[in-house]
Amino acid sequence: MNDSPGWATPGSDPSDGERPGAPTDRPVTGDPKWSAEQPPPGQWTSPTPGQTPPPQAPQQPQQPGQGWGSHGGQYGSPYGGQYGYPGGPGQWGQPPAAKPGVIPLRPLGLGEILDGAVATMRSHWRSVLPITLVVATVVQVLSLLAQKYAMSDLTVATEPGADLEESLNSIAVAMGALIGASFIAALGGIVATAMLTMIYSRAVLGNTSTISGAWRESRSQLLRLFGLTLLLGLGAVLLAAVLIVPGALTRNAGLIAVGIFAVIPLITWLWIKFSLASPALMLEKTTVFKALGRSSKLVKGTWWRIFGITLLTNIITGIVAAIIVWPLTMIGMAVFGGGLGGIEDGTAATAWGALILSGIGAIIAQTIVMPIQAGVTVLLYVDQRIRREGLDLELARAAGIENYGTTGG
């Protein structure tokens, strides 16, 4: 692996018909291609001299569903067994897994993924927080202006006696402002995600990053990341249109309901299936469609696990954001928006004081929440590649750990 955090060449996936450690004609070089030399299962260290090893139970045939990978442990990890990673439970006399950075180099649990995301934000705050703070501030300023003037135009357009043509123009202007603000917010989110991905990838190795360094390493992939985001968004919209529009055109409420109930699980399934495409695109320096394919392979067989971790992360960050935003929003409406009367007639939501306080809360919340969400996604990607492709061996070599994963330590 070179000095950059981009793991450009992925290892063989078990679904491709190879398993880590199998003989291969691929040369072992310094670039991030997987080594043909993989550690044998359960042979990380020998017992201390004079110490009697515990009796070994007879080997049982591998049962489906065991092991770390999606193929019942047969190929999923180079370590084999149900707990075959270095330092895992049940491995007598073995040292803990190396931890050069924010995570141990072995398959990760839920707590370790969340802790790694928070630990990176805490230890690398000089790089992480300025990025998210700038993006959140720009997004919220534009959102505040859009809400102030777009919502005012919508209020005027819906007042009794308003001219139809003027109302349509006001609605069009308001919607255009909201769409424009959303587009700028999406661009800001893409830039932040790209730079945070590079910072987290270096944090895994224990390396620090600068803002300029993260920008330099991510900018070559920004257009592709934008294309990936746009493609996923358009795909979701088209899928919803195909399933819901026929019912709307025929004015069939039952058909509309069936379309809605069908589109929600389908979009959720695709969302998780392609959730690792962004880090794959950035770290492997690949194309949009190859990144989608990589995500699909990495998620295969572990969809529910990734869904659960992603959902829990969104719930936690949503609660954190609500705790920060809602009190400031309610105080702003009560103090600057005319109290309950302003809330009832809708004027409280567009009062400058209420909007500013709400925007400050949103900036603080996004500054905290954005790096956690990005970090969990990157660490899920790393975790899946450790489980399927033995990425921890390559990471250990990149971190300068000698003889990692070989007999005798």
Those residues with Cβ within 8 angstroms of residue 33's Cβ, 6 or more apart along the chain or in another chain:
9, 11, 26, 27
Label residue 98 by pLDDT band (50, 70, 90).
confident
What is the reported pLDDT for 95? Answer: 63
Where helices occur in 205-284 by DSSP H, the ranges are: 211-218, 222-250, 253-273, 277-283
Helix, strand, coil distribution of the chain in percent, nearest 5:
65, 0, 35
Average pLDDT for residues 308-329, to the nearest whole number? Answer: 94
Average pLDDT for residues 238-245, to the nearest whole number? Answer: 91
Q: What's the angle, vertex CA 173, arms to CA 168 and CA 178, rounded to 5?
A: 125
The number of CA neighbours under 13 Å toward the Cβ of 7 is: 29
Torsions phi, psi for 88 (to 5 deg):
-75, 160
Interval 145-203: pLDDT, tens: 877 776 665 555 455 555 666 666 767 766 776 777 778 888 888 999 999 999 999 99
What is the reported pLDDT for 401? Answer: 85
What is the reported pLDDT for 41? Answer: 39
Examine the pLDDT at 311 and tell me if it is beyond 70: yes
What is the reported pLDDT for 185? Answer: 81
Task: Please state, in angstroms and rounded to a whole number, the distance separating the CA atoms of residues 214 and 117.
Answer: 17
Residue ranges of domains in the chain: 121-393
What is the reported pLDDT for 384? Answer: 97
Average pLDDT for residues 313-342, to the nearest whole number? Answer: 85
Those residues with Cβ within 8 angstroms of residue 196's Cβ, 6 or more apart along the chain or in another chain:
128, 131, 132, 214, 370, 371, 374, 375, 378
Examine the pLDDT at 204 and tell me if it is beyond 70: yes
Average pLDDT for residues 312-326, to the nearest whole number? Answer: 95
Average pLDDT for residues 218-228, to the nearest whole number? Answer: 94
Q: Which of 143, 175, 120, 138 is nearest to 349 (CA)?
A: 143
In angstroms, the Cα distances linking 2 to 5, 12, 350 are 8, 19, 52
Average pLDDT for residues 64-90, to the nearest whole number? Answer: 39
Interval 249-271: pLDDT, tens: 888 888 889 999 999 999 999 99
Residue 401 burial (10 A CB sphere; 0-12, 13-18, 19+)? middle
pTM, whole model, 2 decimals?
0.74
How far is CA 204 from its chain centroid?
Answer: 15
